[in-house]
Amino acid sequence: MLLRGIQTLELRVLRQNENAQKLAEHLEKHEKIEQVFYPGLKSHPGHKIAAGQMTGFGGVLAFSLKEISRT
């Protein structure tokens, strides 16, 4: 099982990076999202460092929602 998984690992990691990037970009444009935390975004404070050190930005991201007004 381990050998079988290793054969597709590179492809799975590439897809993980691509999907996280697309999701981060989509969320960044969404009206109800306040901030997206993902080093693949140019708006991320550590983007330049991450771009220089990494070939992909990973599959983990976080975001915060805008406060909902209750009027």
Q: State the residue range of the domain holding 31.
A: 2-65
- Determine, yes or no, domain membership for 28: yes
Please report, for residues 5, 13, 32, the alpha-carbon distance to residue 68 in angstroms, rounded to integers and kept in the order given: 44, 36, 9
Q: How many CA atoms lie within 13 A of 40 on its CB side?
A: 21
- Determine, yes or no, domain membership for 71: no
- Determine, yes or no, domain membership for 38: yes
- The answer to whether 54 and 39 have CB atoms below 8 angstroms apart is yes
For the chain, the straight-line distance linking the first and the last C-alpha, in angstroms and rounded, comes to 56
Total number of domains in the chain? 1
Residue 68's pLDDT is what? 79
- Determine, yes or no, domain membership for 44: yes
Residue 69's pLDDT is what? 76
**Per-residue pLDDT of the chain in tens (71 residues, 90 and over written 9):** 899 899 999 999 999 999 999 999 999 999 999 999 999 999 999 999 999 999 999 999 999 999 877 76
* CATH number (domain holding residue 54): 3.90.1150.10
Residue 63's pLDDT is what? 97
| Residue positions counted in the chain | 71
Helix, strand and coil percent figures for the chain, each rounded to 5:
50, 15, 40
